[in-house]
Amino acid sequence: MISDDQVITLKQVQHLEEYRLKLDFNDKTSQTIDFYPFLSESLNPLIRKYLNQKEFSKFEIDEGDLEWNDYDLCFPIADLYENNIKH
């Protein structure tokens, strides 16, 4: 459990398959998130380009955040922590 003043960050990301990533946080919790529904339902071509597996696999952890292509695509850490990504 985290304290009220602890900042949650990502420690590690593992690409499982297709659009599923296993996220490990600094408080020793994990989430497995399937990004396909978010990507496939988006009407924005800048987001839909990540349906290309080569582009999707270029994710990085930058200062505890999950991002693609210098923050071209990113999600609030709270949403990733709660496995609650939406349009």
Q: Which residues contact 33 (CB under 8 A, 6 or more apart)?
A: 20, 21, 23, 80, 83, 85
Task: Map tokens 């922590």 to a residue.
Answer: 81
Name the helix (H) or strand (E) containing 28: none
What pLDDT, in 10s, does the model give residues 56-79?
999 999 988 999 999 999 999 999
Query: Which tokens belong to 12?
Result: 């590690």
CA distance 47 to 4: 33
Whole-number pLDDT of residue 3: 57
What pLDDT, in 10s, does the model give residues 33-46?
999 999 999 999 99
Pick the CATH number of 10-81 from 3.40.50.300, 3.40.50.10420, 3.30.2020.10, 3.30.70.1340: 3.30.2020.10
